[in-house]
Amino acid sequence: MVLMRILGIETSCDETGISILEFKNNQCKILANLVYSQIKVHQPYGGVVPNLAKREHQKNLIPMLQLALKEARLEKNKRKNQKIKLPASKIQVLENLLLKDEILKQNLLSFFQTIDKPKIDLIAVTKGPGLAPALWPGVNCARALSYFWHIPLLGINHLEAHILSNWLPKEKNQWTTLQITQNLFPATDLIISGGHTQLVLIKKIGCYRLIGETRDDAAGECFDKTARLLGLSYPGGPAIAAEAKKTKKLPPSSFSISLPRPMINQKNYDFSFAGLKTAVLYLVEDLKKQKVSLNLIRPFLAAEIQNSINEVLVSKTIRLAKNFHTKTIIAAGGVAANEALCELLQQEAAKKLPGIKVIIPAKQYTGDNAAMIALTAYFHQKQPIHWEKLKADPNLKL
Ligand code: KG4
Ligand code: ZN
């Protein structure tokens, strides 16, 4: 069976990802998987600043690609002194393609002068959904590589990639069989990230039906916004989870902290988290009026916020799995890193749906990464797109 190498590129939000995966006989091997988190850049602003994200992606994509090629031992004929002369016609095409990505253009032009075409069979890049200024540098970088090296190109849906991240090999450089068999389906999928909260019915890979979604804020967004109200730093999810853990070490609170579980009893599969954020705001103000120290009460507030979000997510997921008789529940996205959520999901599934399989991504793949983009491309390898036609689509649906 032929060996296939896919280069993955991810820039939908505040993580720059470059990954190279190898495939053979339904097996997958990670040759390189680099993620550069911009958290430090955005932290002072309390959230992601799109134009800063764009600048960071432009700066980091090519140095990361060089590193990834080196790790994957695909850096052929690297020249130190004698540079490759680029034809003027090719430079002109690249100039036009990268008109709005000056830093990336400079990096790419000097990169093409020092390295020969590597043995990559397909280039895959996140097309959407995501922040437009963040998506474009990734898309344009992939288009430029595809044009210059004559390598087929694919635009990938970031949400589908989060789903498939569940099957990424846990270790680097080890062949792992892709155990995505038809007996997992139909499956209930809970996609929970900074921008999305969706319940999806999966009939097979590539066949998705949106059943419910948030009507306002996403679960991750709610973690981020309520964390800010508690004086915790960005990203709020991990900060709230860490704070909530402290409740075990403190004496029981004498304050009654109770937050709503929005839409938990409604028979639909939609969510709404904006009201929870407002409830936290009022609660914090009320506590301030009562001269209660936020430092003292913060862990209990964090635990209650986490419980509220998790209970709603789990309750609706279990209901969907039950009503649609699915064989599997699959969690995906950044919020799936929340340990309390995963525990609750597993407990409730075992209690209410005995025999159902619960699949949770390995922690290192819950956040944005390019390995999941390359893996998704493997399943869609027969649908490449010409580099001139690929566009970022910030509102791309599953
Ligand atoms: O999937 P992701 O990395 O990026 C998007 O595509 O949005 O998700 C980021 C979100 C952020 O809102 C972050 O606060 C949340 O995932 N998150 C968590 C945890 N780790 C990250 N939320 C709850 N608990 C966590 N441990
Ligand atoms: Zn994501």
Q: Which residues contact 96 (CB under 8 A, 6 or more apart)?
A: none
| Domain 4-170+366-389, CATH | 3.30.420.40
Indicate whether this model's pTM tops 0.75.
Answer: yes
CA distance 280 to 378: 43
Q: Which residues contact 297 (CB under 8 A, 6 or more apart)?
A: 253, 255, 257, 287
| Domain 182-361, CATH | 3.30.420.40
Q: What is the pLDDT of residue 296?
A: 87
* Distance in Å, CA 162 to ligand 2 centroid: 7
* Most informative mutation of 37, 193, 310 for ligand 1 (most atoms within 8 A of CB): 193
Which residue's C-alpha comes closest to atom 2 of ligand 1?
Answer: 334
Q: What is the pLDDT of residue 225?
A: 97
Q: What is the pLDDT of residue 242?
A: 97
- CB of 331 closer than 8 Å to CB of 359: yes
Amino acid at position 216, single letter = D
Which residue, 216, 212, 203, 348, is CA-closest to 272? Answer: 216
* Most informative mutation of 15, 196, 230, 335 for ligand 1 (most atoms within 8 A of CB): 335
Asked if domains 4-170+366-389 and 182-361 share a fold, the reply is yes
How many other C-beta atoms lie within 10 A of the C-beta of residue 87?
Answer: 8
| Ligand 1, CB cutoff 6 Å, lining residues | 13, 193-195, 220, 223-224, 235-238, 241, 333-335, 337-338, 367-368
Residues of the chain short of pLDDT 70, as ranges, are 1, 77-78, 80, 249-255
Q: What is the pLDDT of residue 273?
A: 98
* Distance in Å, CA 148 to ligand 1 centroid: 35
* Distance in Å, CA 81 to ligand 1 centroid: 44
Peptide bond into 299 cis (omega under 30): no
Q: What is the pLDDT of residue 210?
A: 98
Q: Where are the domains of the chain?
A: 4-170+366-389, 182-361
Which residue, 214, 222, 215, 163, is CA-closest to 194? Answer: 222
How many other C-beta atoms lie within 10 A of the C-beta of residue 124?
Answer: 30
- CB of 78 closer than 8 Å to CB of 69: no
96-131 pLDDT per residue, tens: 999 999 999 999 999 999 999 999 999 999 999 999
How many other C-beta atoms lie within 10 A of the C-beta of residue 19?
Answer: 27
